[in-house]
Structure 1
């Protein structure tokens, strides 16, 4: 089975590291993915999170694009309620003009932050309600068919940056189907509605100028190592880091290991760990078998992989081992 593989780089900032370190590691990861034959790399907009460095998503995309040559780069995604469509059209029109044929624009409806941060962004809490309208307005700016008389995106107009709808529920699936846009489901952290959402998207898809047939990208976690045993050790650390990160927000001192043990067995910890339900863990052969089965089950046209290993060296190895197992070039 041959299926395109892509990456979601969350630009993680582990304990003891710096944001500058993370940006250097993201460049190294992108270069490795390009050499290995991955289709695209996306970066997600998150705010007020000390462990994620991709808040200025378009700036990071431009930096990575300057350090690579051919791999597609984009947002997975821009949280459109945080922005005016015109500004996003200008940003991504600039990127497409500087790096033609390499830029994607994935769009999400969630604010990507807590309510206090949302207020700090100076946005109206009701902004998410206008998401469908804002997507169409943004599309108009990028195609040169502005919906606002006398207002155009410069740069942006006529760049036709491809849009993708991101989602973790039926709302995004139905909108992507109605607008005839590709749909990317966030099953790497929100697994519950995967099959229902993709079914709704495929069943209701309406062709558009951008897309004649439905196209599904499904998110999936990966921890690939030389052996199943090594991968399981790494995955256990991923679980512990995930629980302590989510439950320790705003905490001045880190949890002790015994405290993490207790948190992982709590109801809140178990709920967080369910986010990792779709994760390929093991040797290259085990990861290949999992990803092929997952793609068939999800009816996915492409997989966007999130390599979760806590150590940057292990994460880079996971990217390369997965590419080799799945028969990508390199």
Structure 2
């Protein structure tokens, strides 16, 4: 049961993807406090769901214990759906995830989403530390999804039961940045979310594959696709461009293999990146899926991407250093829903 009354943009819901960024000069405690503020803020604005992504061994991202953070946010909000975007299933035993999300759904009925990814959300050394082996990898993802669905079913095949978890109606989503999860989501008749915010070139082909091959299931009778975009909105295009430099520096540092917290914005990136580095970052942060500007330009960007993808829902992430500016950015997007 969906308990939330949400607003729409062009008749589709808008949602939030939060990485719980740790800013330069801050720590995880501050990040979690700011996530609570943001979740409460976007709930009031009428956003549909609030998701966290699982990442590990990243100095600037604190959403590693994703299930715990989902519970924390659900406990500080009233109606917005809260979930994972996603849980990197190869890092975990399916039973553990079934029990964790069974617990969350039992605590916050009708509000929990379980988005699943097959990447490690980390490097190989961290993946080994999480799993204690690299023999079980992303190629076993379909089997793990089957196991998870069985744990949630009313009459599971397995002799091992997920308690809590068994018989609970927890929406399972498949997440992807390539065609693998698009194929699997279509085959299993599950909702699909594509990471357009960092893999823009593959978005339209993956969505077409998902829709063309979709098989109706008990979970879903027709395809449902959500796309992720970066949005950095401000009162002026110039201020939005300045705020966006924090995100650009984060991507640049990732490409260089440099650990860093989310940096404060700068007036210009020219002295920070080379022309080749600029081109590489902009390839991932395409203007189609990294929308930066004033309210009118954000509107145009979201409208154009909705038209290109025919998305059923858009999930927005905003890597902005200052929490007030982050709240203001979502407020601007919220005004578009009010219109």
Give the shorter-chain TM-score range: over 0.9
What does residue 239 of structure 2 align with?
A: 230
Q: Give SS of 2:180's match.
A: helix
Q: Give SS of 2:62's match.
A: coil
Deviates more, 1:190-199 or 1:136-145: 136-145
Following TM superposition, by how much is the alpha carbon of 1:274 offset from its aligned partner in structure 2, in angstroms? 1.9
The number of aligned residues is: 324
Q: Give SS of 2:64's match.
A: coil
2:145 corresponds to 1:124 = no
**Structure 2 runs not aligned, ≥5 long:** 1-9
Following TM superposition, by how much is the alpha carbon of 1:327 offset from its aligned partner in structure 2, in angstroms? 2.3
Alignment of 1:303-314 (within 5 A): 303-314=314-325
- Correspondence for 1:140 among 131, 143, 150: 150
2:168 corresponds to 1:159 = yes
Q: 1:305 to 1:200 in 2, by over 3 A?
A: same
- Contact 1:137/1:147 (8 A) holds in 2: no
Following TM superposition, by how much is the alpha carbon of 1:266 offset from its aligned partner in structure 2, in angstroms? 5.1
Deviates more, 1:200-209 or 1:227-236: 227-236
Q: Give SS of 1:264's match.
A: coil
Distance in 1 separating the partners of 2:166 and 2:225: 27
- Correspondence for 2:101 among 78, 92, 103: 92
2:225 corresponds to 1:216 = yes
Q: 1:139 to 1:224 in 2, by over 3 A?
A: same
**Structure 1 runs not aligned, ≥5 long:** none
What does residue 205 of structure 1 align with?
A: 214
TM-score by length of 2: 0.91
- Contact 1:81/1:123 (8 A) holds in 2: no
- Contact 2:232/2:318 (8 A) holds in 1: yes
Distance in 1 separating the partners of 2:151 and 2:172: 12
- Correspondence for 2:20 among 7, 11, 22: 11
- Contact 1:177/1:204 (8 A) holds in 2: yes
What does residue 192 of structure 1 align with?
A: 201
Following TM superposition, by how much is the alpha carbon of 1:251 offset from its aligned partner in structure 2, in angstroms? 8.0
What does residue 57 of structure 2 align with?
A: 48
Distance in 1 separating the partners of 2:174 and 2:155: 20
Deviates more, 1:57-66 or 1:291-300: 291-300
TM-score by length of 1: 0.93
- Contact 1:180/1:208 (8 A) holds in 2: yes
Following TM superposition, by how much is the alpha carbon of 1:35 offset from its aligned partner in structure 2, in angstroms? 0.3
Q: Give SS of 1:193's match.
A: helix
Deviates more, 1:85-94 or 1:290-299: 290-299
Distance in 2 separating the partners of 1:125 and 1:272: 33
- Correspondence for 1:103 among 101, 104, 112: 112
Q: 1:298 to 1:125 in 2, by over 3 A?
A: farther
Deviates more, 1:264-273 or 1:306-315: 264-273
Following TM superposition, by how much is the alpha carbon of 1:146 offset from its aligned partner in structure 2, in angstroms? 2.3
- Contact 1:179/1:206 (8 A) holds in 2: yes
The 4+ residue runs of structure 1 with deviation greater than 6 A are none
Q: Give SS of 2:174's match.
A: strand
Following TM superposition, by how much is the alpha carbon of 1:52 offset from its aligned partner in structure 2, in angstroms? 0.4
Q: Give SS of 2:17's match.
A: strand
